[in-house]
Amino acid sequence: MPQIVDLTGRVALVTGGSRGIGAAIVQALAEAGANVAINYRSAAADADAAAAKVRAIGRKALAVAADVSEASAVAKLVRTVQDGLGPIDILVNNAGIALIRGIDDLTEADFDRTIAVNLKSVFLCTQAVLPHMREQHWGRIVNISSGAARGAGGVGLHYNASKAGMEGMTRGYAARLVKEGITVNAVAPSLIETDMVRAGVAATPSRIPLGRFGTPEEVAMVVMMLVGNAYMTGQTVALSGGMAFS
């Protein structure tokens, strides 16, 4: 029984792929054989470094700047990837922002921007890649959610809403695409050791039963499991170091 996902010849797009969880997913996809497009908004040097790591193991890579909350930018992004690598077979919606706000500090602009980047982008990117996936009757879409979709979280209610919406969209797409060879799943990490977590959400892992932060590579492992499993769709896999039962 094969234990490693073989993605030779496949093209993957990872939004927000320049750092942290996104960069770990990019590397895992490349190690499985995929050619990878790395979307970023402003971290060009990080995206170029991630692309260089992909090329170092013999895969093709493309770093593409785009604000995936804007329809025109997404359309241009997908065209650029198709021209440079080929049609997109695998989409990982990882782009997101986490503006830490309390109820009394949250503005309408904060709310709208969070929903646009964390939720609307999933719709825009998914719609853009579906024609090819439907034509070939094969596709994998993985959305990076958060434990905040079901818990209080430390960012704010706007973030909760964006991630809960993402998981609802995951189920909605999965149900409607299940006959077309396309799976749609989500991963919901909590307190992964990234700049965002260390900078404001949790300075220490004291509230994690396992006793440590998760790693971006551990999130990438779950993503790869979902990409490789044709029978799993419409699911959200929690990755929380035991917080779900603490």
Rounded average pLDDT over 22-50: 98
Which pLDDT score, from 0 to 100, does residue 246 have? 47
The answer to whether residue 1 is domain-embedded is no
Per residue in 111-122, pLDDT tens? Answer: 999 999 999 999
More confident residue, 37 or 153: 37
State which residues form the domain around 171: 11-245
pLDDT reported for residue 201: 67
Whole-number Å distance between alpha carbons of 133 and 13: 13
Q: Is the pLDDT of residue 3 over 60?
A: no
The CATH number covering residue 46 comes to 3.40.50.720
Predicted pLDDT of residue 196: 67
Query: Residue 223 above 90 pLDDT?
Result: yes
Q: How many domains does the chain have?
A: 1
For residues 22 and 148, the model is more confident at: 22
Helices (H), the chain: 20-31, 44-56, 71-84, 108-115, 121-136, 157-177, 195-196, 216-228
Quick one: pLDDT at residue 152?
87
Sequence-separated (6 or more) residues with CB below 8 Å from residue 146: 153, 159, 163, 188, 189, 190
- CB proximity list for 44: less than 8 A, separation 6 or greater: 18, 63, 65
pTM (two decimals): 0.95
CA geometry: angle at 230 spanning 243 and 189, to 5°? Answer: 20
Whole-number pLDDT of residue 203: 66
Distance (Å, whole) CA 180 – CA 188: 25
Q: Are strands 90-93 and 236-239 parallel, antiparallel or unpaired?
A: unpaired
Q: What does the radius of gyration of the chain's CA atoms come to, in whole angstroms? A: 17
Q: Which comes out higher in pLDDT, residue 1 or 140?
A: 140
Q: Which of 40, 159, 173, 231 is catalytic?
A: 159
Does position 9 have pLDDT exceeding 50, yes or no?
yes
In terms of phi and psi (left: phi > 0; alpha: psi -120 to 50; beta: otherwise), the region of 191 is left
Q: How far apart are CA 93 and CA 130, in angstroms?
A: 13
**234 belongs to a structural domain:** yes
User: For the residues 13-26, what does the mean pLDDT come to?
Assistant: 97
6 belongs to a structural domain: no
- Tokens 């024609």 map to which residue? 131
Q: What is the pLDDT of residues 163-182, one digit of tens each?
A: 999 999 999 999 999 999 99
Q: How high is the pLDDT of residue 245?
A: 58
Q: Are 184 and 133 in contact (CB under 8 A)?
A: no
Question: pLDDT value at position 86?
Answer: 98
Edge-first strand order for the sheet with 236-239 is 61-65, 35-40, 11-14, 90-93, 139-144, 182-189, 236-239
Report if residue 85 sits inside a domain.
Answer: yes
> Mean pLDDT, to the nearest integer, of 123-144?
98
- Between the two ends of the chain, the Cα-to-Cα distance in Å is 36
Domain-located, residue 236: yes
Clarify whether 40 is annotated catalytic.
no
Q: What are phi and psi of 143, to 5 degrees?
A: -105, 130
46-78 pLDDT, tens digit per residue, is 999 999 999 999 999 999 999 999 999 999 999
Lowest average pLDDT, out of 62-66, 118-122, 147-151, 239-243, goes to 239-243
Residue 132 lies in a domain: yes
Across the chain, mean pLDDT equals 94
Structure token pair of residue 191 = 């307190």
Residue 203 lies in a domain: yes
| Domain annotation covers residue 143 | yes
